A = this chain, B = another copy of it.
């Protein structure tokens, strides 16, 4: 049996109120009784029941984090950043993988709310109107990761995807590329997709580069998805010298396929990823990509969330844009005229 506060009280010959006071470090306790209580706690091995405490004080010091897939290195870093900040402020996180599945998301949000999470971080590539409404409605505080809020009720931490894509495209255009392809997600039409597409197309248009949707391929954003898309791109005989992949895994898959099909990377095809996952400069060729400060996104989001949860914390709601960085590496090269 777990020992409870009343056992300690009995042992120390005081009331439970007094024990509670010393456990919670409330000052107005006589030094001597405090000693006695401390002794009793040690002797009995008492550990406060946080559940009971939470029920009483209406605060769990537990945060929920909804993330598509912890296995995706991009999200892994976010979680690590969030958890580290939690540790500092004596919170814990409940982790929930949602796999971009609206049903799972709804269920997950529900249990996080039922478990009385003080706050919830919602990470995704898009925010459906329905999900947005649920998040605004939720009694827990909410901060978005990687997507902004447009309702004025939520906060978000993210990079400017449009600018990032634009800058990346401009670099490749400067290198002489004119014939591009995009390797994007199989289904997605959501926020990040739109933003990046806007950025790429803006760069294309400013430079009078022809582009239409037939140059967008769609598959799972994975090593094998990238492989498949490259296969298709080469087989259908489209004319292209450069590919923008939605993430680095996809880019690496595409690189491998191209190599196997006899292409030299970057001489024959320049290939770019996105996110700068931890291994991007250790592959051969190294992957040209846009670095997102993923750890920081998690850490900043969590900091904001904690402030929302604390009594006199900052309650300003805002979208925070964190800096990105274009990294030009070995997977791309100037076009030879």
Contacts and interface: CB of A to CB of B under 8 A. Distances in A.
A136 interface: no
Given A83-B70, A94-B62, A51 B55 contact: yes
A30 B143 CA distance: 42
Contacts of A69: 80
A50 B252 contact: no
Interface in A273-329: 278-279, 282-284
Given A2-B139, A252-B279, A79 B55 contact: no
A54 B38 CA distance: 28
A253 to B, nearest CB: 7
A261 interface: no
Contact of A223 (B48, B114, B279): B279
A95 B113 contact: no
A76 B83 contact: no
A92 interface: yes
B114 A48 contact: yes
A60 interface: yes
Contacts of A76: 70-71, 73, 76
Interface string A139-182: 10000000000000000000000000000000000000000000
Interface string A37-52: 0000000000111111
Instruction: Give the copy number.
Output: 2
A113 B47 contact: yes
A219 interface: no
Interface residues on A, range: 35 or more
Contact of A111 (B49, B92, B111): B92
A231 interface: no
A47 B95 contact: no
B92 A115 contact: yes
18 contacts: A48-B114, A49-B55, A49-B116, A50-B116, A51-B54, A62-B94, A70-B70, A70-B76, A70-B79, A87-B97, A92-B111, A93-B94, A94-B95, A223-B282, A252-B279, A279-B279, A282-B283, A284-B284
Which 5 pairs of residues, A with B, have the shortest CB-CB distance?
A: A50-B114, A95-B95, A50-B115, A51-B116, A92-B94
